[in-house]
């Protein structure tokens, strides 16, 4: 597969390789939408987006890059969570991932009021918008720089190869071959 067309992406969104493969780029959170609808046969997207969106697609392969983890974090010092639950019956959580946050607190038998923000989530507990945050952590630098600490892990995330369900049947041979080549590359890089 010739990927030279991806070398200079600029503002373009669609790239055609010489062999007929068409690549598209989009925001990570939109990747499952394109694949689910069959506008793309395959997609590459983080597990974080899959957990949040729960799209009706096949997850074919862990591509083992873009590693990070989804965590619940609060200000350092005493964890404010038990106190909030005891006092208010609910903990207020800011996040870009309301589905993941709600699932975590529901699964652990605690009521959460989820405040959806679109970025710089770490600000929320510093100014009293929330008791804690659910967010991705990679190096931990952003948490440390803002005096926050991890309290509870949710899950590990990395890039995943996903497929449209119909495409997976109709183009099984091509998709299986590509998946096998990617799996071999992942193995070789491990």
Interface residue list for ligand PRP (CB under 6 A): 119-122, 135-142
How many Å apart are CA 125 and CA 147, to the nearest integer?
10
Residue number, nearest CB to ligand PRP: 119
Smallest separation (angstroms) from ligand PRP to the CB of 139:
3
Helix (H, G, I), strand (E, B) or coil at 75: strand
Q: Which is nearer to ligand PRP, 144 or 165 (CB)?
A: 144
Smallest separation (angstroms) from ligand PRP to the CB of 151:
15
Smallest separation (angstroms) from ligand PRP to the CB of 143:
6
- Say if CB 82 and CB 70 are below 8 A apart: no
How many Å apart are CA 146 and CA 123, to the nearest integer?
8
How many Å apart are CA 3 and CA 42, to the nearest integer?
15
How many Å apart are CA 121 and CA 135, to the nearest integer?
7
Q: Which is nearer to ligand PRP, 68 or 85 (CB)?
A: 68
Smallest separation (angstroms) from ligand PRP to the CB of 95:
9
Q: Which is nearer to ligand PRP, 131 or 168 (CB)?
A: 131
């Amino acid at each position: 597969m010739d990927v030279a067309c991806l070398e200079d992406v600029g503002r373009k969104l669609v790239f055609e390789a010489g062999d007929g493969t068409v690549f598209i780029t989009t925001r990570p959170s939109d990747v499952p939408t394109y694949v689910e609808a069959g506008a793309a046969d395959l997609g590459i997207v983080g597990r974080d987006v899959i957990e949040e969106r729960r799209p009706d697609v096949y997850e074919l392969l862990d591509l083992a890059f873009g590693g990070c983890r989804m965590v619940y974090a609060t200000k350092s010092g005493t964890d404010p969570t038990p106190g909030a639950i005891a006092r208010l019956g609910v903990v207020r959580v800011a996040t870009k991932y309301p589905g993941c946050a709600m699932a975590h607190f529901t699964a652990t038998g605690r009521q959460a009021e989820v405040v959806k923000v679109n970025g710089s989530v770490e600000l929320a507990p510093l100014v009293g918008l929330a008791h804690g945050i659910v967010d991705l952590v990679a190096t931990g630098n952003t948490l440390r720089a803002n005096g926050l600490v991890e309290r509870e892990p949710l899950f590990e995330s990395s890039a995943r190869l996903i497929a449209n369900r119909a495409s997976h049947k109709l183009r099984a041979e091509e998709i299986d071959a590509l998946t096998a080549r990617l799996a071999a590359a992942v193995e070789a890089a491990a």
